[in-house]
Chains A and B, each alone.
Chain A
Amino acid sequence: MNARHGSIRAKRITYKTIVYVVCTFLALLSIFPFWIMFMNATRSTYEIQQSSISLVPSKYFMSNWKILTGKAFSPMTGFINSMTVSVGVTVLAVYFSSLTAYALMAYSWKLRQAFFSFIMAIMMIPAQLSSIGFYQFIYRIGMTNKFTPLIVPAIASPAMVFFMRQYLMAALPLEIVDSARIDGSREFATFNRIILPIMKPALATQAIFSFVGSWNNLFIPLILLTNKKKYTMPIMVSLLRGDIYKTEYGSVYLGLSLTVLPLFVIYFMLAKYIIAGVALGALKE
């Protein structure tokens, strides 16, 4: 009896050990590539050639910076352009998705159910596969190399409308809308002054995902933006792959680090909310 008890305990200890070892390994696997990147960003090409893994920084940050910015890579331009596009996308997507979700939730109109089914159906349309038509259309109206065609389409973000509707169903008692009407508030003003503030938590979560998604987008900006002054961060990054930085290992790592840094800051500040948001987005009922 005792021996059996002991073997069960031994099994449980082995199980726990395996769990912790594997989880720790996976956590390190997430950090390790970025750690090497940040360290190598401060090391000279010669040092990297001698030994390409270092757990501590060196002192060549400035010289790497000079080489990096002395060629095609312009972190400031990329940063400002990406910021413009991502903030524009986020504001439009969050505002209009809330408005559409409110229309779906607060009013009973004939086509409401049909419109909702329609949004469900178009939620998974792969945007990249209509890129030729999109490019031709934008080219014809002479809007290539402008940020507008990257920003305005965000007004129609079906997945976000879906999410906002779920949130409103759970969080908005329609009595509030009624009492606002009694107080003489007009419908549009009710939405802006009363509904939007109630939706703040949902807006924040969706804003993060919208911003990060837009910030990381490569395909569509790559085909629309050909002018170097308009390059967004991911296009800027793709320059590091080219011949001009072939032997400048330190500068390449520095360029990569510059694009990761803002995302790291956002992520580690908001990780709890981001992860809660991913979990929430999956629960579709």
Chain B
Amino acid sequence: MRKKSVSYAKYGYIFSIPFVVAFLVFSLYPIVYTLVIGFTDLRGLGVKEYHFLRTAEGNLDLFGNFRTVLNNKTFTTSLKNTIILWTANFIPQISMALLLTAWFTDRNFKVKGQGAYKILIYMPNIITAATIAILFNSLFGYPKGPVNDLLMKLKCIDGPRNFSLQRWTARGVVSFIQFWMWYGNTMIVLIAGVLGINPSLFEAAEIDGATPTQIFFRITLPLLRTILLYVLVTSMIGGLQMFDIPKLFLNGGPDQATITSSMFIHEQAFSGSYLYNRASAASIIVFGIIIVLSIILFQILKDKDEVARRKYLRAQRKAARRRVNS
């Protein structure tokens, strides 16, 4: 539109060069490289040469590593655990965040000290996950540890319990840590979403005699759809890469109950066995799962009304332009 800016167009390209170069070298290349390694025999510390996998007869056998990994019991266990741990943290996380959002955005009753509550509830999110994992490991210590002491003082249990030996307790604690670190973040995001909704919608509903519960489920929740999708997808992508907490809390134990797929990848490649090819194959599989799940989520939660509305607007704009031109 502006004639002058055309001559400056080259700066658009020039200023984007650093980003593009850094992306190609440090993001895209490693992804492609990982994919390639997944098809090869690259293993062993310091080995730089590799060949594509072949069968004994010399035919190409590209998916050998993928087969090995998929048949590996630890890998399937780690995938299952990752999904269990993520689900067990996400459902309470989103429920608690929604509840707090409903309270903190209540139009009839302003919670006093809201700022302080938000600050404290969000706080665990910025603390190093590695530190938190080890802190919880100490807190759940056996036979003497703060949690055991507290439960015994409150007469919840008779004697000290060894939490790190029970599979479901260990999973529960890992999920709890994830929940505790993230529900504050989700809450802040959701509150921002609610504050972005046009207040006249709430006023109209109140005048029509809707109860706060009705307003929350019929107006607030549907309008939060996009933000809920954003929370769900980012949490899922983060959750499927869960590493720090399960690694440093119980190192995957007891009996592989908290080993996650990222831990499996790390163990295959970096702690003693140097099976880079298998770790790559496992990474690609998890990557694939993330892509498929994200697409499904987008399809399910895509706001159909919004899509229709945009289409309608575009058609109208076109029509208007045609009218002006003719």
A111–B30 Cα distance when bound, in Å, is 25
Say if the beta carbon of B269 comes within 8 Å of chain A.
yes
- Flag if A109 contacts B9 (CB, 8 Å): yes
- Flag if A130 contacts B27 (CB, 8 Å): yes
Say if the beta carbon of B141 comes within 8 Å of chain A.
yes
Chain B residues near A12: list those with CB within 8 A: 109
Specify the chain B residue showing the minimal Cβ separation from A12. B109
Chain A residues near B251: list those with CB within 8 A: 241
Partner pick for B144 among A33, A52, A109, A271, CB 8 A cutoff? A52
Partner pick for A100 among B16, B180, B191, CB 8 A cutoff? B16
- Flag if B144 contacts A100 (CB, 8 Å): no
Say if the beta carbon of A80 comes within 8 Å of chain B.
no
A33–B6 Cα distance when bound, in Å, is 59
- Flag if A126 contacts B240 (CB, 8 Å): yes
Say if the beta carbon of A233 comes within 8 Å of chain B.
yes
Which of A61-69, A198-206, A213-221 is found at the contact surface with chain B? Answer: A213-221
- Flag if B23 contacts A260 (CB, 8 Å): no
Say if the beta carbon of A274 comes within 8 Å of chain B.
yes
A161–B27 Cα distance when bound, in Å, is 16
Contact status of A16 and B109, CB under 8 A, knowing A108-B6, A129-B283: yes
Would you give the shortest CB distance from A36 to chain B, in whole angstroms?
5
- Flag if A23 contacts B180 (CB, 8 Å): no
Say if the beta carbon of B290 comes within 8 Å of chain A.
yes
- Flag if B27 contacts A140 (CB, 8 Å): no
Interface string of A1-43 (1 = CB under 8 A from B): 0000000000010011001100100110111011011000000
- Flag if B26 contacts A52 (CB, 8 Å): no
Chain B residues near A23: list those with CB within 8 A: 100, 103, 111, 117, 121
Specify the chain A residue showing the minimal Cβ separation from B125. A278
Chain B residues near A130: list those with CB within 8 A: 27, 30-31, 33-34, 283, 287
- Flag if B129 contacts A33 (CB, 8 Å): no
Specify the chain B residue showing the minimal Cβ separation from A127. B27
Which of B68-76, B215-223, B230-238, B318-326 is found at the contact surface with chain A? Answer: B230-238
Say if the beta carbon of B165 comes within 8 Å of chain A.
no
Interface string of A113-127 (1 = CB under 8 A from B): 001000000101111
How many chain B residues sit at the interface, stated as a range, is 35 or more
Chain B residues near A234: list those with CB within 8 A: 128-131, 244
- Flag if A107 contacts B126 (CB, 8 Å): no
- Flag if A263 contacts B128 (CB, 8 Å): yes
Say if the beta carbon of A179 comes within 8 Å of chain B.
no
Q: Do most interface residues of chain B lie in helix, strand or loop, or is the interface mixed?
A: helix
B residues 105-135 near A (Cβ < 8 Å) are 109, 111, 115-124, 126-132, 134-135
Say if the beta carbon of A133 comes within 8 Å of chain B.
yes
Interface string of B267-294 (1 = CB under 8 A from A): 0011000001001100110110010001
- Flag if A126 contacts B134 (CB, 8 Å): no
Interface string of B131-145 (1 = CB under 8 A from A): 110111111010011
Chain B residues near A125: list those with CB within 8 A: 27, 31
Partner pick for B189 among A153, A235, A278, CB 8 A cutoff? A278
Partner pick for A140 among B1, B16, B48, B233, CB 8 A cutoff? B48
Say if the beta carbon of B199 comes within 8 Å of chain A.
no
Contact status of A152 and B135, CB under 8 A, knowing A23-B103, A136-B33: no
A161–B316 Cα distance when bound, in Å, is 32
Chain A residues near B118: list those with CB within 8 A: 275
Partner pick for A256 among B9, B131, B188, B191, CB 8 A cutoff? B131
Chain B residues near A233: list those with CB within 8 A: 128
- Flag if A133 contacts B32 (CB, 8 Å): yes
- Flag if B130 contacts A134 (CB, 8 Å): no
A12–B212 Cα distance when bound, in Å, is 12
Partner pick for B286 among A30, A33, A129, A274, CB 8 A cutoff? A129
Interface string of B11-22 (1 = CB under 8 A from A): 111111011111
Contact status of A283 and B134, CB under 8 A, knowing A134-B26, A153-B26: no
- Flag if A237 contacts B131 (CB, 8 Å): yes
Would you give the shortest CB distance from B185 to chain A, in whole angstroms?
6
Chain A residues near B16: list those with CB within 8 A: 100, 103-104, 115
Would you give the shortest CB distance from A83 to chain B, in whole angstroms?
14
Top 10 A-B pairs, shortest CB-CB distance: A133-B33, A133-B34, A107-B12, A109-B12, A279-B192, A103-B15, A155-B22, A153-B26, A133-B30, A156-B22
Can you list 21 A-B pairs with a CB-CB distance of less than 8 A?
A: A19-B103, A33-B132, A37-B135, A103-B15, A107-B12, A108-B6, A128-B241, A129-B34, A130-B31, A131-B265, A131-B269, A132-B279, A152-B26, A153-B26, A178-B4, A187-B11, A218-B129, A219-B243, A219-B266, A234-B130, A271-B119
Residues of chain B whose beta carbon lies under 8 Å from any beta carbon of chain A: 1-2, 4-6, 8-16, 18-23, 26-27, 29-37, 42, 48, 100, 103, 109, 111, 115-124, 126-132, 134-139, 141, 144-146, 148-150, 180, 184-185, 188-189, 191-193, 195-196, 226-227, 230-231, 233-234, 237, 240-241, 243-244, 248, 251, 262, 265-266, 269-270, 276, 279-280, 283-284, 286-287, 290, 294
